[in-house]
Amino acid sequence: MEIWEEISRQRVKYIVDSYQLDGYDDEFFYEYLEDLLQAYAPPQIELALVEILIESWRVTPLIRGVAFLERSHELLKAWETKIISPNISPTHFRLITGLDPTPVFGIEVNIQSHKSIFSNASH
């Protein structure tokens, strides 16, 4: 496996670990995740995970485990027949994941260029 492929896989696993998306279905979850990594480009999987994560924040408790991957897989399949139109910006992707959005969005984002809402606060 090439180094870039390993890095791409690690980025996906980082998102999963950061939000404990594996739930309680560890064995089946990681088998399913591996199947997705074989079928889709890791940047697409990253975007799908984050999009479903955002969608899942509206539900209590948070969807996790195989159910989370099934929902992500549905989104990946939908993108096979249409142009991918992300519901989040590269900046939001970076804020949610802590990862560089360039592999996913294909553009470089400078998160420091955004003004803080507190920049004009008096001390």
Domains contained in the chain, number: 1
**In whole angstroms, what is the distance from residue 113 CA to residue 43 CA?**
24
Domain membership flag for residue 118: no
Domain membership flag for residue 63: yes
Each residue's pLDDT tens digit, 79-94: 999 888 899 999 999 9
Each residue's pLDDT tens digit, 14-66: 999 999 999 876 779 999 999 999 999 999 999 999 999 999 998 888 899 99
Q: Read off the amino acid at residue 88.
A: I
pTM attached to this predicted model? 0.83
**In whole angstroms, what is the distance from residue 1 CA to residue 118 CA?**
46
Domain membership flag for residue 7: yes
Domain membership flag for residue 46: yes
Domain extent at residue 36: 3-113
Domain membership flag for residue 120: no
**In whole angstroms, what is the distance from residue 113 CA to residue 21 CA?**
31
Domain membership flag for residue 66: yes
